[in-house]
Amino acid sequence: MRSVVVASLGLVTLAGFLAPPVHAAPVRPAPEAKRPVAEGYGGAVATVDLDASKAALSVLRQGGNAMDAAVAGAAALGVTEPYSAGLAGGGFIVYYDARKRKVTTIDGRETAPRAMTSTAFEGIPFDEAVTSGLSVGVPGSVAQWDTALRRYGTMPMRQALRPAIEIAEKGFVVDQTFHDQTEQNAARFADFTSTASLYLPGGEPPPVGSVFRNPDLARTYRELGIRGPDWLYGGALGREIVATVKKPPVRRGATRNVRTGLMEVSDLRAYRALERPPTKVAYKGLDVYGMAPPSSGGSTVGEALKILEALPKVGLHEYLEASRLAFADRNAYVGDPAYVNVPLEQLLSDGFAKERACLIGPRAMAHPAAPGSPDGSYAPCPAAAQGTPGASAGAVPEEKKEGPETTHLVVTDRWGDVAAYNITIEQTGGSGIVVPGRGILLNNELTDFTFGPAPGDPNLPAPGKRPRSSMAPTIVLKDGTPLLAVGSPGGATIITTVLQILVNRLDFGMSLPEAVAAPRASQRNTAATQAEPAFADRYGAELTALGHTLTDVPGPPAGEIGAATGLEFLENGRVQAVAEPARRGGGSALVVSPRR
C-alpha cells in the first residue's frame, strides 16, 4: 500500500544505516500509483501493497519460482503491513506444483502453549484477552517459510528475505491506511514501551507522507537468514519472544490489565509446520482446492459451492442461504483435526449438499439454521420439504469476533506454479506488543478459540491445539491446470468474500476484476446479513422482500468487507493479476512482462 523510498532492490546505502530509528523524514513526493489489474507473461503477483508486490516480482525476475516469491512477498508485508502480518504470526499456503501437476497446502497456523487449558479464556473480556501475553500463539510463519522453501522453493531463506530487509532499512512512505490503523491502536500501543517507541514516535502516529523505517526488524530478518529457523524455535530469538510474552513491557503508570502468557521455549521447540492434503470439490466441471482444517475456509467454501450446485438456480438469495447453512455446519464440526474428528469427507459430499439444499426455498430461512447431520446416510428431498427449515439445535452462541485484518497474496511464475497465501497476526495490530529490540508485533491468534463455557465445541482451547481459522486461500483448476487463484483477509468474512467472488465469476459471468470489485454481503448464520452500502443500495429491496435482513458492516474500516487478491489464467499463456481497486486503500497487481 506504500512506495518504498528507494525503488531498486540493490545494495543498502550508507544513508540507510545512518537513518534515525523510525520515520523522522520529510514528506516525499506522491508515491508511484498502484494498479489493481495487470496482464502479461512470465509471472504475476497481487498483494494489498505496492512494495510487497515489487518484492515478490523482483524474486520472479531473478529466476525464483512462485514459492520463493510468496515468501519474499510475505516477509515484505511484515514490514509494510505489520498490523496484519509478520514473522511472529502464521498462515496457510495453497500451492499448485506445475511439474507434479498437484495441489498441496502448508499449515503454518499458530499453536496453543502446552500449559493452556479449555477454560483459559473463560470470563475474560474479549478486548482484554486480545491485548495480553495470554493471547499469543506459538508463531508458525518462519517454520512455514522454511518448509515451503525447502520443499518447493529454489532459494535459501536469507535470499528470500533480502527485499524485506531493504524496505525495513530504507523505509516506506506512510499512507492514509497505515496512519489510520496506527491511530486506531494508539491507546493500547502507548501502554507498551517497545510498541510506543516504534509506532508512536513523539507520541503520535507517523504522519501521512513521512517515511517509516524499522531497522530492528531489518536486523532481525538478517539474523534469521544467517542463523536459520532454529534461532526462533528454541534459540535466542525464541527466548526473547517467550520473555516478552511472560512479562509484557507495560509502561509504568499504565492502568490496562495486561495478562501474562503461558508460552515456554519448549513450545517453540515442539512447533512444526505441516504439509496437508487440500480440500477438493468439483463445481460445474472445475476442481476447487482450499485449505483443510484447522482452517474452516476450504470446508465451508466447498460445502457452500456443493449446496449451490444442487440447486436449480443460483442467485444472491441462494448464495446467502448456502453460506448460512455451511456456517452452521462449520461452527458445529470444524476444529483442529488432531483434537477433533472433523467429518470433512461428508461435509463436502454430494449427498450431504443435496440434503442441505432441500432447506433452501424462495424465502430466507428462520434464524438460526441448525447444523446438518454429515453421517453418510442421505435421503432424497421430499417434495414438500423444499425450503422447510430443519429443527433448531437450540441457542446458538453469538458469533465470536475474529480479527478483520490478515492479508492475502497470490503469485505465479513462468513455469505455471501458483501460490495463494493468507498471512495474519489476527487483530489489527495483533496483541499490541512489540518484542523489544526486534521490531516485530506478537500475534493474538489464541483469541480465535471459543472462550467458553461451551461443552462439546470443537474449537475450545487445548495444549498444543491450533485454533480454528477462516482463512481460505483457493486455487481452481480446469482440466488439471490452473484457472483461478483467490483469497482475502477479513476474519470470518474471508469465507463469504471468496465464495462470493467465485459465484460472481463462475455463475454470474463477471470478469475477475468485476468479481473482486463488486459490492459484497456476508451471511454467517446470523440474524442479519452484513452488507456493504453499495450492495444494500442495489439489492436491499429485492432481498428484504425475500425475508432477508441487511445490516451495516462494522468498522474500522466501516462499510468494507475483505480486501481480495486473485489471478486468472487467460488464453495463450497470458495471466491476469487482480487486486482491490478501492477497499483498504486499493491493492497492487504486477506482471513480469506485459508482452510475451
- Where are any strands of DSSP class E within 192-295? 211-212, 274-276, 279-283, 286-290
Distances (CA, A) of 445 to 77, 89, 258, 328, 402: 18, 8, 16, 22, 9
Residues β-bridged to residue 189:
none
349 annotated ligand binder: no
d(CA 462, CA 114): 8
Distances (CA, A) of 102 to 278, 396, 477, 521, 566: 10, 39, 10, 33, 19
377 annotated ligand binder: no
Straight-line distance from the first to the last Cα atom of the chain, in angstroms, rounded to the nearest whole number: 28
Amino acid at the residue 573:
G
595 annotated ligand binder: no
d(CA 52, CA 191): 30
- DSSP conformational letter for 480: T
- Give the position of cell 436449480: 312
Cβ contact 142:149 at 8 Å: no
Antiparallel, parallel or unpaired: β 407-413 and 418-424: antiparallel
- DSSP conformational letter for 4: B
Cell of 188: 493500547
431 annotated ligand binder: no
d(CA 515, CA 502): 8
d(CA 550, CA 128): 30
Cβ contact 157:164 at 8 Å: no
d(CA 231, CA 249): 22
Sequence-distant (6+) residues with CB within 8 A of 243 are none
Helix axes 316-333, 350-357, angle to 10 degrees: 120
Told to judge if 406 belongs to the known catalytic residues of this protein, a careful annotator would answer yes
- Whether omega for the bond prior to residue 513 falls within 30 degrees of 0, making it cis, is no
d(CA 1, CA 73): 13
Amino acid at the residue 428:
T
448 annotated ligand binder: yes
**Which of 80, 147, 244, 406 is labelled catalytic?**
406
DSSP labels for 499-556?
A: HHHHHHHHTS---HHHHHHS--EE-SSSSSEEE-HHHHHHHHHHHHHTT--EEEPPSS
Amino acid at the residue 374:
P
Residues β-bridged to residue 407:
423
Binding residues: 109, 448, 469-470, 491
The binding site for L-glutamate consists of 109, 448, 469-470, 491
The residues assigned a catalytic role are 406
